[in-house]
Amino acid sequence: MAISKRRYASGREVFRVRIFRHGRCVESAEFELLRDAKKFQADRLNRLGRSDWIEPKRGRVSLGEVATEWLASRRGLAPRTQDTESRLYRRWVAPYFASRQVATITSAEINRWLGELASHGVAPSTVRRTLAVMRGILSHAVSDRRIPVSPAVGVRAPRGGARREGKALTGEQLVRLLRAVPPEFEVPVAALALTGLRFSEWSALTVDDVIPTPHGYALKIHRAMTQSGGGGRRLTGSTKGHRIRAVPVPPAVLGFVLERVDAAGQGSPLFPTPTGLHWTNTNFRARCRWTSSVKAAGLEGLR
C-alpha cells in the first residue's frame, strides 16, 4: 500500500491511495484530506487480511454476464426448467438489472424491484419464481468470488394465495365431459381422466411405453414433454419427480391402445395429433375446444 500526493494541472491537490496484493495494484482511490486517505488505507489493510477478501474489480462485471454463466451451468436440468428460468430472466430480471455491476446491487433495490413487479400485476407465484432466478444468479456470483455475499439473502418472497386443490371427476361427470368434447377427443380425454397422468407425461407416451404385466397392460411413465414458454416448441425431459413408474391402462381405452401399438411404428406417439405428432397443451386445448366443452358439461374451471 502507498499514499502519495498528486497535483493536477488545475492546481488541485489530492492524496492518492494505491492498494497492492501480490505486487499488483488491485484498487486505488483519491481523497482531498490525508486523514480520509489514511482511513481508507487502514480499512483496506483490514480487508486484505481476511480470507473472504475479494478483489474489487471482479464485482464490476454486469449481472447480465453472470446470468449468462449461471444459465449455462443449468444445462443439466430438465429442458422445461431451463426454458422457464431463461424466460423469467429475460422477461423480468434483465430489464432492471442486466447492465448493472453485480457488486452495486443492494437488498433494498431487490425489494423495490419485487414491489414494482407486484404493482404491475405479476402473479405472486411468478414473482417468487423470478426471485429464485435472481438468487441463483447472485449465488453464482458469490461462488465465483465476485461479491462476498448475495444481496438477495434475507429478501422475502411475496406471499401468494392458497394452492388450488385438484378436482377428481365422478363417473357421471366424466360421461358428461366425454359427450361435450369433439368425438375424436373422447379417448384422449378418457385416458387423461382415468390414468391421472400429468398432461406432459401423457403427451410424451409412445407405443413403446405400453408394457404387458401379469394383470394386463401398463404404461411406462419415464419422460415428460412440455412446450417452451415462448411458443409451441416441444421440450422432452424427465418426469417432474424424476421417477419411473407404471400406470395400468384403463379398460375403457385398452382397445385403442392395443390397436395403436399394432398399427404404429416404433417410437410413434401413443396418442397422436392428426398429423402424427405429440400434442402440446396449447394445441390440445384449442383443438378439443376445452373451455367451451367443460362449460357445456357444467364443469367450468376444470383443468
167-202 pLDDT, tens digit each? 778 999 999 999 999 999 999 999 999 999 999 899
- What rounded mean pLDDT belongs to the chain? 87
Distance CA 65, CA 99 (A): 9
- Give the CA distances from residue 258 to residues 196, 209, 247, 270, in Å, rounded to whole numbers and listed in that order: 20, 12, 15, 10
27-31 contacts, C-beta under 8 A, 24 or more apart = 27/55, 27/56, 27/57, 30/6
- Sheet holding 216-221: strands in order across? 210-213, 216-221, 245-248
Distance CA 278, CA 134 (A): 33
Q: In the prediction, which pLDDT does 4 show?
A: 87
245-282 pLDDT, tens digit each? 999 999 999 999 999 999 999 999 999 999 999 998 88
234-243 pLDDT, tens digit each? 777 777 777 8
Higher pLDDT, 56 or 290: 290
Tell me, rounded to whole angstroms, the distance of Cα 33 from its chain centroid. Answer: 50
Q: Is the pLDDT of residue 58 over 60?
A: yes
What DSSP string describes 190-235? Answer: HHHHHH---HHHHHT-BGGGEEEETTEEEEEE--EEEE-TTSS-EE
Compute φ and ψ for 223, nearest 5 degrees: -150, 165
141-145 contacts, C-beta under 8 A, 24 or more apart = 141/59, 141/63, 141/66, 141/102, 144/58, 144/66, 144/69, 145/54, 145/58
Residue 108 pLDDT grade (very low, low, confident, very high; cuts 50, 70, 90): very high
Q: Is the pLDDT of residue 291 over 80?
A: yes
* Cell numbers given for 229: 414458454
pTM greater than the 0.75 cutoff: no
3-state secondary structure of 302: coil
Mean pLDDT of 57-69: 90
